[in-house]
Chains A and B, each alone.
Chain A
Amino acid sequence: MASSSKTEQKKMLILKSSEEEEFEIEESIAVQSGTIKNMVEDDFTLIPLPNVDTETLIKIIKYMKKHGEKTKSNEKDIEEFDKEFVKKSFTELKELVLAANYLHITSLIDLLCQAFADRIKNKSVKAIREIFGIPNDFTPEEEAEVYEQHKWAHEEGKEHIDHSAY
Chain B
Amino acid sequence: MESEASHQQLKRNKLINNSQLSPTLPLELVTEILSRLPIKTLLKFKCVSKSWLALISSPEFVKFHLSLNTNNKEYTHHKFLMNCRPSYNFKDCSYKVLMNYHPTYNFKDCSLSSLYNESSTEAKELDYPMKSYSMHRRVPYGDSIVGSANGLICLVIGKTKFFLWNPSIRKYQQLPDPKTSVRCFPRRAYGFGYDEFHDYTPRGPYGFGYDEFHDDYKVVCFSNDVLHDDGSCELEVKIYSLKSDSWRRVDDCPCPEYGVKESWTKMFILKYPEHRLGKGTQGLICLHMANEGEFLVAFLGSNFMICNSKGDSLRYLEVINSERFSNPEIYVESLVWPFSTGRTEDATKKVLKGW
Contact = CB atoms under 8 A, between A and B. Distances in A.
Interface in A126-164: 128-129, 132-138, 143, 146-147, 149-154, 156-157
Given A113-B33, A132-B25, A125 B50 contact: no
Interface residues of A, number: 40
B190 interface: no
Interface in B1-57: 10, 13-14, 17, 21-26, 28-30, 32-34, 36-38, 40-41, 43-53
A134 B24 contact: yes
B33 A116 contact: yes
A99 to B, nearest CB: 10
A19 B37 contact: no
Contact of A129 (B33, B34, B49): B49
Contacts of A153: 40-41, 43-44
Contacts of B13: 18-19
A117 B47 CA distance: 17
Main secondary structure of the interface of B (DSSP, over half): helix
A75 interface: no
Given A19-B14, A152-B344, A153-B40, A128 B48 contact: yes
Interface stretch (A23-31, A32-40, A79-87, A88-96): A88-96
A140 to B, nearest CB: 11
Contacts of B45: 125, 128
A113 B32 contact: yes
Main secondary structure of the interface of A (DSSP, over half): helix
Contact of A94 (B23, B34, B44): B23
A82 to B, nearest CB: 15
A91 B47 contact: no
A41 B273 CA distance: 63
A135 B49 contact: yes
A97 interface: yes
B234 interface: no
Given A19-B14, A101-B26, 6 more contacts: A20-B10, A97-B29, A120-B41, A128-B48, A133-B21, A146-B47
Interface of B: 10, 13-14, 17, 21-26, 28-30, 32-34, 36-38, 40-41, 43-53, 127, 169-170, 344
